């Protein structure tokens, strides 16, 4: 049961990703930064990842100063599997180290380093905000409540299969009830991480407007991500807040 809950949460954050092979970028050559509007390459990804990683780790340690060393030791990977759809997600390694993954298919949709930086910062923000354990708790709570209701309504006539079905549905709804809230929170925190790494989060949010990536039909109870215009508006609001803090001589913080 515990394993199935964990896998379910990972699939939600992965948004249907098929993570079959996730190699570490190993390019050590000097990469030339290209003009915005051109498709991004693996070299662009490696360069941006090297710049975002230490900033995300510093941000994480500021938010969790008493956490163990590995808690904020981010590993950023590129999934080059041709079967993986356009996607990015945060997960944990076997030893609990936070892992950020971006697929080559999503990288091909990107047109600026700002977009790479915002997406990686968004995934780092999921870890900073502890969304994985919160989703696990939400899923378990939804399952227990739904199972209890099924038992109470069915009395002695309710079957074990019916209770399990109710618990599965409760877990499904429990996770999705909070998924959009967590996406908004990750967008907001991610904007601050990207800005502190020297990137423009507002320009980075243009990735949400790619026709192939936009959330269709607006948010609903069973949607895992908010509508794209809402996300770009939120990042724009965060960018204004970041600018105000910087003008006041402050280190930007959410």
> Considering the chain, what is the average pLDDT of its residues?
74
pLDDT the model gives residue 64: 93
| Mean local confidence (pLDDT), 192-216 | 87
- Measured CA to CA, the distance from residue 23 to residue 6 in angstroms comes to 23
**pLDDT, tens digit (0-9, with 9 covering 90-100), for 21-31:** 333 333 333 34
164, pLDDT greater than 80: no
What is the distance between the alpha carbons of residues 31 and 38, in angstroms, rounded to a whole number?
A: 15
What is the pLDDT at residue 177? 46
Residue 32 has pLDDT above 90, yes or no: no
- pLDDT (average), residues 99-110: 93
CB 95 within 8 A of CB 117: no
Distance CA 118, CA 210 (A): 14
**Is residue 166 pLDDT above 80, yes or no?**
no
pLDDT tens, 12-21? Answer: 333 433 333 3
Of the listed ranges 81-90, 127-136, 147-156, 234-243, the one predicted with least confidence? 147-156
> Are residues 174 and 142 in contact, defined by beta-carbon separation less than 8 angstroms?
yes
Structure token pair of residue 188: 């907001």
The answer to whether 198 and 51 have CB atoms below 8 angstroms apart is yes
> What does the pLDDT read at residue 229?
86
Least confident stretch, 11-15, 43-47, 68-72, 232-236:
11-15
Statement: residue 37 has pLDDT above 50: yes
Residue 43: pLDDT over 70: yes
Q: Per residue in 127-158, pLDDT tens?
A: 999 988 766 655 543 334 433 444 444 444 44
DSSP string, 6-29: HHHHHHHHHTS---S--PPP---S
pLDDT per position as a tens digit, 167-187: 343 333 334 445 778 889 999
Residue environment code for 63-87, b if the CB has 16+ CB neighbours within 10 A, otherwise e: beeeeeeebbbbbbbbbebeebebb
Measured at the CA of 244, the angle between CA 239 and CA 249, to 5 degrees, comes to 120
Nearest to 212 by CA among 89, 131, 109: 109
What percent of the chain clears pLDDT 70, i.e. is strictly above it?
62
């Amino acid at each position: 049961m515990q394993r199935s809950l964990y896998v379910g949460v990972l699939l939600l954050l992965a948004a249907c990703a098929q993570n079959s092979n996730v190699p570490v970028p190993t390019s050590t050559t000097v990469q030339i930064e290209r003009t915005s509007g051109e498709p991004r390459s693996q070299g662009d990804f490696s360069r941006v990842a090297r710049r975002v990683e230490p900033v995300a780790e510093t941000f994480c340690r500021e938010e969790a100063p008493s956490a163990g060393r590995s808690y904020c030791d981010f590993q950023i990977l590129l999934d080059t599997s041709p079967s993986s759809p356009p996607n990015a997600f945060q997960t944990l390694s076997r030893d609990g180290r936070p892992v950020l993954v971006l697929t080559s298919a999503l990288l091909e949709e990107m047109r600026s380093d700002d977009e790479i930086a915002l997406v990686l910062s968004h995934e780092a923000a999921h870890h900073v905000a502890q969304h994985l354990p919160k989703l696990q708790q939400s899923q378990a709570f939804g399952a227990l409540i739904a199972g209890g209701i099924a038992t109470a309504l069915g009395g002695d006539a309710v079957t074990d299969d019916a209770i399990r079905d109710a618990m599965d549905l409760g877990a499904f709804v429990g996770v999705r009830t909070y998924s959009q809230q967590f996406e908004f929170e990750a967008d907001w925190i991610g904007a601050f991480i990207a800005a502190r790494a020297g990137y423009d989060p507002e320009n980075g949010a243009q990735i949400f407007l790619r026709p192939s990536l936009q959330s269709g039909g607006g948010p609903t109870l069973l949607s895992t991500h908010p509508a794209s215009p809402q996300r770009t508006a939120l990042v724009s609001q965060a960018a204004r807040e970041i600018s105000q803090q910087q003008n006041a001589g402050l280190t930007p913080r959410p």
